[in-house]
Structure formats: structure tokens, C-alpha cells
Amino acid sequence: MKKDKIIYWTSTGLIALFLIPGIFFLDSPMAIEGTQHLGLPMWFHWELGIAKVIAAILIILPFTPNRIKEWSYVGLAIDFISAFIALVTVDGISAMAFFPFVVFMILAVSYIYHHKLIQNK
């Protein structure tokens, strides 16, 4: 049980540390250039950036209802898979294209251990 909690909080904390500070960099030239490079509209850039921060906050808060947490995991998973597909489509297979996939795997670990902790209650 203790091992499960450590794995859950480590993976969930990594996701949160990766996503939550991103809200402060949404208007940075690098973020805007990345959005334009992929051919995405700016309204989508803002919408997705805000949604990711909200989802990261919801998965890290222990008192978030499980159904809301589930949808947060789904939204983040769709985002990371879509980012991987977009990068591979635009830039081809490269090391950078696999970064969203790596973050997706960390998210999957968090999700799996979230359910293990729920079952052990």
C-alpha cells in the first residue's frame, strides 16, 4: 500500500509539475511559435493551455471526486496522444516527437495507481 502511494504521488506530482507552471508561459514567443508551427489556431492554444492546467490541478487534489478525476485523466491522455500525432505528422519521427508519449506514460502510471489506491480503501 505504501509503495502504491509513493508511485501514485510521484507520477501525479511529475504531471502536475510539468503542466501547472505552463499557464505562466502560454504567451511566450516559444509557445506561440510552437502552436503556429503545428498549424493550430491561437484560440485553441489558449483553450488547451487553460484546460490542461485545470485538469492537472484536479488530478492532484485528493478531494476531487473520482468521476471528475477520471475525465481529467481522459482529457490529458487525448491531449498527449494528439500532441504526439501532430508532431509526427508535421516534423516526422524525431526524438522530440516522443516527449508527449513519455508524459502520456507517466500519466498512465498515475491513472493505474490511482485505481489501485481506490480499490485498497
* Percent of the chain's residues with pLDDT above 70: 99
Is the pLDDT score of 121 beyond 80? Answer: no
* Beta-carbon contacts of residue 94 (< 8 Å; ≥ 6 apart): 87
Query: pTM of this prediction?
Result: 0.91
Could you tell me the end-to-end alpha-carbon distance of the chain, in angstroms, rounded to an integer?
A: 10
Task: Tell me the per-residue pLDDT of 24-78, one tens digit each, with 9 for 90 and over.
Answer: 999 999 999 999 999 999 999 999 999 999 999 999 999 999 999 999 999 999 9
- The 3-state DSSP class for residue 53 equals helix
